[in-house]
A and B are shown apart, each in its own frame.
Chain A
Amino acid sequence: MSLPTARTKKNLRYALALACIAAAIGWFATRDEHAGAGERVQPPLALADFQLLDGDNQAFTRTRLQGHWSLLFFGYTHCPDVCPVTMSELAKSSALLQHAEDAAARSVHVVFISVDPARDSPELLKNFAHYFNEHFIAATGSVEQLTVLTDSIGARHRRLTEQGVDYRVEHSVDVWLIDPQARLYAKFPAPQHAQELARSVINAVHTSEATL
């Protein structure tokens, strides 16, 4: 074997640089895959007072989030791809949580909040949420009241200015974990996975038990 020439040294440097880039891409890709474990909000963030209506046309306010843990998800029923994927994972994680040892983990509420009140009536929403799980709660309200809640959580929603009935709505796809004092406790970015959601809820309930 001959000694490395300047040229092969240069090639080696390129190869090393490429390997570093590949490793970085790999690290980010796998990190994203495990994002289902959730991001803690420390300290938990108190939610603003908001006024929505549930699927039975009853007031749905901050007090409805007190005394138990809740998972919130913002979406709309004319969203056939991203929303049902998350709702399915929430349904599966709810089923898993029914086997939790901790009563607080078994009684987590799941709330689907529509950010498309023009098309999603409370009745329509109730049907939609119950399709995934008959215990799921549905809620919506005026865009102003929805924004009070989403602003305080850090979620976003925006109806696109399109003609006709088939307009689209952009919205945050995170799942938000709310503690029994109606405070934002953690955020689960998409794509969520039922098992990781369930595990994270059990951990959160366990960890915070002493302080609540």
Chain B
Amino acid sequence: MKHVRALMLLAGLVLFYTALNAADNTPTVRDAWVREAPPNAQILAGYAQIENTTGQADAIVAVSSTAFEKAEIHHSEVKDGVARMAQIKRLDLPARQVVKLEPGGTHLMLFNPKSPLRAGEHVTFSFTLSSGKTLSVDADVRNTIKPGEHHH
């Protein structure tokens, strides 16, 4: 009986350590923001930098937010002066690389905000990764019109 208890304790410790290690090895998100839009805009865009600090390739397979009805990843492309957008169902996060979601490129496509969002407010996103992990992301709403303000 004593041995079983010791084994269980050991197994518990191993599990705990593995979980802790996994938490340390989760991709990190920096500089997440949402572009402030006209009050009646039905689609907004969000941006961020995702750094996969781990040695394992991962991918974002789903995005959700309580502030929007639906969130997707899209890519804007200008070809021969014409803009096109396409949905990206799976955004690869190669090991030890930074993936940038930025204006005019890959971005979060945010449908039907539940309330108008003003600059300075914050919204939360949840990125579901193919590894099974979930990233919780805090993004601030920014105004990009005022002269002197820069994109990041």
Contact = CB atoms under 8 A, between A and B. Distances in A.
Contacts, number: 81
A4 interface: no
Which of A81, A88, A166: most chain B CB closer than 10 A?
A81
B76 interface: yes
B43 A80 contact: yes
A81 B147 contact: no
Contact of A88 (B38, B110, B145): B145
Nearest to B75: A81
Contacts of A132: 145
Interface string A144-175: 00000000000010000000001010111110
Contact of A173 (B43, B74, B78): B78
A128 B41 contact: yes
Interface residues of A, number: 31
Interface residues of B, number: 27
A80 B45 contact: yes
B95 interface: no
Nearest to B107: A81
Contact of B145 (A82, A92, A127): A92
B132 interface: no
A68 B51 CA distance: 49
8 contacts: A81-B103, A82-B104, A128-B41, A130-B38, A168-B84, A170-B83, A172-B83, A190-B78
